[in-house]
Chain A
Amino acid sequence: DTEVTQTPKHLVMGMTNKKSLKCEQHMGHRAMYWYKQKAKKPPELMFVYSYEKLSINESVPSRFSPECPNSSLLNLHLHALQPEDSALYLCASSLVETGLTGEQYFGPGTRLTVT
């Protein structure tokens, strides 16, 4: 199974709402990632988790709060978002020891609209 699943597929939320995005993989990967992709732009890295610990935070605003409760699951908690946060949120996973390969497996993304 080389699939990364993300739920929900689409999410519309108001600026005062709290919501969460979920990502799951069962490939035994111990590195998991969140990317943000605006329309017609490339994906931008937000967070990296290695062995369930946050290893990279690309200066993301605190209204985005990641969580990695176990080795298969990655969440992104959203609170007090702004309309400019509307984007496709992509989850990916890989081996931690990327060394020679570095292959990341991406999910299909959650399309978020903030109203």
Chain B
Amino acid sequence: DAKTTQPNSMESNEEEPVHLPCNHSTISGTDYIHWYRQLPSQGPEYVIHGLTSNVNNRMASLAIAEDRKSSTLILHRATLRDAAVYYCILRDVTGGGNKLTFGTGTQLKVEL
């Protein structure tokens, strides 16, 4: 499985935007970029995914570099509820693509 690299931790103030980076220099053409987050004492939760183009949904935006070797998850206005571990995951869609291989993730701390 292609590997992702994320900072161990990041901090943000409430109501400010947060940019969470992810490097995936060995990404292949059939890898989708997925982001999940895990709030304290909960299971992981899907956030967003993309292949080549930037993506927006109600939770976040995903900006993908033109060469696809890096991506950034953007939370437009962080709230205390967004404090979680954010995982960037590459998912190979060939052969069904049911496997998610989680990296170490970024612990996001949000302060008032």
Question: Which residues of chain A are within 8 angstroms of B103 by Cβ–Cβ distance?
Answer: 42
Interface size on A, residues (CB 8 A): 29
Cα separation A48 to B42 with both chains bound (whole Å)? 20
Of A43, A44, A92, A102, which one neighbours B97 at CB under 8 angstroms?
A: A102
Question: Which residues of chain B are within 8 angstroms of A59 by Cβ–Cβ distance?
Answer: none
Question: Which residues of chain A are within 8 angstroms of B68 by Cβ–Cβ distance?
Answer: none
For window 5-33 of B, CB contacts with A under 8 Å fall at: 32
Assess the B98–A94 pair: CB atoms within 8 A.
Answer: yes
Assess the B44–A102 pair: CB atoms within 8 A.
Answer: no
Q: A43-B44, A90-B44 are in contact. Are A104 and B100 (CB under 8 A)?
A: yes
Q: How far is the CB of A92 from the nearest CB of chain B, in Å? A: 7
Cα separation A104 to B37 with both chains bound (whole Å)? 12
B97-111 to A contact mask, C-beta < 8 Å, 1/0: 111111111000000
Of B45, B98, B104, which one neighbours A42 at CB under 8 angstroms?
A: B104
Assess the B43–A50 pair: CB atoms within 8 A.
Answer: no
Assess the B43–A102 pair: CB atoms within 8 A.
Answer: no
Q: How far is the CB of A66 from the nearest CB of chain B, in Å? A: 14
| Closest 3 A/B residue pairs (Cβ) | A106-B43, A42-B102, A103-B46
**Between-chain CB contacts (< 8 Å), 24 pairs:** A33-B98, A41-B104, A42-B87, A42-B102, A43-B102, A45-B100, A45-B101, A56-B99, A96-B96, A97-B96, A98-B98, A100-B32, A102-B34, A102-B91, A102-B97, A103-B49, A104-B46, A104-B100, A106-B43, A106-B45, A107-B43, A108-B42, A108-B43, A109-B42
Query: Which B residues are within 8 Å of any A CB, using their own CB?
Result: 32, 34, 41-46, 49, 85, 87, 91, 93, 96-105
Known pairs A96-B98, A100-B93, A107-B43. 11 more at Cβ < 8 A? A31-B98, A41-B104, A42-B105, A48-B99, A50-B98, A55-B98, A90-B44, A102-B49, A102-B100, A104-B46, A108-B42
